[in-house]
Amino acid sequence: MFIFGHRFIDSVNFYHTQNIDAIDNTPSNSTIYLDFSEDNLDIIKYCRANEISLAVGVEDIRELIYASSLGASFILVQKELASTAMRIANNYLFDAKILVHIEDEDEIEELAILGVDGVIFSTAIIKTNS
């Protein structure tokens, strides 16, 4: 199980960007994070074309499938969507790992039992300036 942003575990950060230019302000080999939106398709396609690791936050199954099809390395979902997202990811053999946003480490056990690929605390997502 991947755990990003926990105080005990060293992990990479995800860089939340608002535009392509902001990607230049992130460390090399960064994972770029953004929420799925039609407005962000240019950034998603840019990351894919330039082989930049991408994490996409989704709100529903449709966006989950889009994120996978667009080449996301990680797909971030809320806990309520986790079980369904994992079933779909396993059924369709997604390359992306399913991560669940959490605020409390007590949630890790429940999500491990559900079989999610990993969890991410908000401290692992760094907002970049454009």
Q: What is the pLDDT of residues 40-70, one digit of tens each?
A: 999 999 999 999 999 999 999 999 999 999 9
- CA dist 126 and 112 (Å) reads 25
State residue 129's pLDDT score. Answer: 76
State residue 25's pLDDT score. Answer: 86
State residue 70's pLDDT score. Answer: 97
Q: What pTM value is reported for the model?
A: 0.95
State residue 130's pLDDT score. Answer: 60
**R_g of the chain computed on alpha carbons:** 14
CATH architecture, domain 2-120: Alpha-Beta Barrel (3.20)
Q: Which parts of the chain have pLDDT scores under 50?
A: none
Which class for 6: exposed (0-12), middle (13-18), buried (19 or more C-beta within 10 A)?
A: middle
Domain ranges in the chain are 2-120
